[in-house]
Amino acid sequence: MGEKAGHGCSSSHDELEAKVGERMRTVRHEILVLSGKGGVGKSTVSVNLAAALADSGRRVGLLDVDVHGPSVPKLLGLEGRAIGVAEGGLMLPVEAAGLRVMSVGFLLQDAADAVIWRGPMKHTVIRQLLGETAWGELDYLVIDAPPGTGDEPLSVCQLLPDADGAVVVTTPQDASTANVRRSITFCRQLNTRVLGVVENMSGFVCPRCGGRVDIFKVGGGRRLAEEAGAPFLGAVPLDAAVVESADSGSPFVRRLPGSAATKSFEAVVASLLATIEAVAAPLARVQPGSREAVAEGSSGKGKDGPMRIAIPLAEGKLSQHFGHCEMFALVDVAEGKVSSREDVPAPEHQPGLLPRWLASKGANVIIAGGMGARAQGLFAEHGIKVLVGAPSDEPERLVEAYLAGTLVTGENVCDH
């Protein structure tokens, strides 16, 4: 184990950091899968997320950075597989089931080996897995981290500051959501976007009658998401056949098509993709092969570039109560001028919904009368700039003033 785990240890710290950036230039999206508690099925979610993305025609890599209990090789039937070496000394991920897979487990001489490493060694190995693996061109890299908020997820967040964000997995009961809440706090302290919460083991589906029993209660994941102001991606029921799929090394989304678990998980993936790809569009993340942003991140596009500005409406003018408006005006700007306007009905009010919904509509700037601090933070996570304190006026006039630099904003009139 020592020889393999030490691959490339003669490289300096700066060289390894640069290698991570170099490898990630050919990866469009990175998703970290987290949980504050063990036993919630986080690795199962990671494996099936990667498989579902690959089945949709995307190029997908899966990285298992659980140093002390790597589960991905077992869940994909890859135990005992060895990594290869590419030209230039890079490690070759194991190709299986349409995925490019790398795991700490592949570096062990024996699956029963106990890894006894302190934090600095873990960081070095994770840095090598990211920076010295020949990932190639990928649409998505799914990263399965161990439970908790320790060295491994911390290393990934520090090494990938531009990652799309994290999916947080919980089970419904209070003991789980209380611990998982810490993962959301962890993400926000590290400026890692929370892409959403998945409630796993949400009820048990009887294999005989198809009936459902809420063994661990139900709804805890949704409540956690609402309280944290994070998107709720969906709930996946517990199914005995899912356990069998995991033990057999086959993702349940492939082995159990049409099952309640697979249908629920497909809905989770669809919601996640809508969030990621809607956020990526206004941020104008460039094509595969480059990681350089051409946008201003959460500050919106440059005023001479394309923009879509969202304005809450009441009786045709800006509504001072953002979260309870009747309509939204979506005003498109091209070459520094208003090019078009679309009015769309506001969705039914749900905590945490508007940032995701407006991002899916392509908005990258909001002009509002008032907005609570939590909502402003959520919009920032979705790459949307917010201006508060704007007067009640017609949308085109507000946008023209904003473009001209003459928009006068006052006090935030609604901070809740």
pLDDT tens-digit readout, 59-69? 999 999 887 66
Q: Give CA–CA dist 200/246, Å, rounded.
A: 15
Selected from 3.40.50.300, 3.40.980.10, 3.60.21.70, 3.30.310.50, the CATH number assigned to the domain covering 2-283 reads 3.40.50.300
Q: What is the dihedral of CA 53, 54, 57, 58, to 10 degrees?
A: 70
Please, are residues 297 and 365 in contact by the beta-carbon 8 Å criterion?
no
DSSP 142: E
Count of C-beta atoms within a 10 Å radius of residue 21: 14
Burial of 389 per CB tally in 10 Å (0-12, 13-18, 19+): middle
Please tell me the CATH code under which domain 297-404 is placed: 3.30.420.130
Pairing of strands 194-205, 138-144: unpaired
Report the candidate in 223, 167, 227 with the shortest Cα–Cα distance to residue 192: 167
Beta carbons of 142 and 33 less than 8 angstroms apart: yes
Q: Alpha-carbon Rg of the chain, whole angstroms?
A: 23
Q: How many residues does the chain have?
A: 416
Distance CA(354)–CA(384), nearest Å, equals 11
C-alpha distances (whole Å) from 265 to each of 49, 234, 257, 412 are 8, 8, 11, 40
d(CA 52, CA 347): 28
Indicate where the chain has its CATH 3.40.50.300 domain(s): 2-283
**Local structure of 123: helix, strand or coil:** helix
Encoded tokens for 251: 């993702």
pLDDT of res. 260: 84
Residue ranges of the chain assigned to CATH 3.30.420.130: 297-404
- For 67-122, how does the pLDDT look when each residue is reduced to its tens digit (9 = 90+)? 766 789 889 999 888 888 887 889 999 998 899 999 887 876 555 454 545 456 77
Structure tokens at 137: 């061109």
Token output for 177: 């959501």
Query: Could you report the per-residue pLDDT of 128-182, keeping only the tens digit for each?
Result: 889 889 999 999 999 998 877 667 888 888 888 888 999 999 988 877 888 888 8
- CA distance linking residue 170 with residue 193, whole number of Å: 17
- Distance between CA atoms of 299 and 295, rounded to whole angstroms? 8
Task: Look up the pTM and report it.
Answer: 0.64
- Report whether 61 contacts 49 (CB < 8 A): no
The reported pLDDT for the residue numbered 301 is: 39
Convert the pLDDT of each residue in 210-256 to its tens digit: 676 777 667 888 888 888 888 899 988 888 778 788 788 889 999 88
Q: Is the pLDDT of residue 278 over 60?
A: no
Cα 146 to Cα 118: distance, rounded to the nearest angstrom: 15
Those residues with Cβ within 8 angstroms of residue 323's Cβ, 6 or more apart along the chain or in another chain: 349, 354, 371, 372, 375
Strand partners, 61: 100, 141
Structure tokens at 60: 């997908």
> Smallest Cα–Cα separation from 51: which of 95, 93, 92, 99?
99
Q: What is the pLDDT of residue 126?
A: 84
- Would you say residue 295 has pLDDT above 50? no
Question: What percent of the chain shows pLDDT beyond 90?
Answer: 26
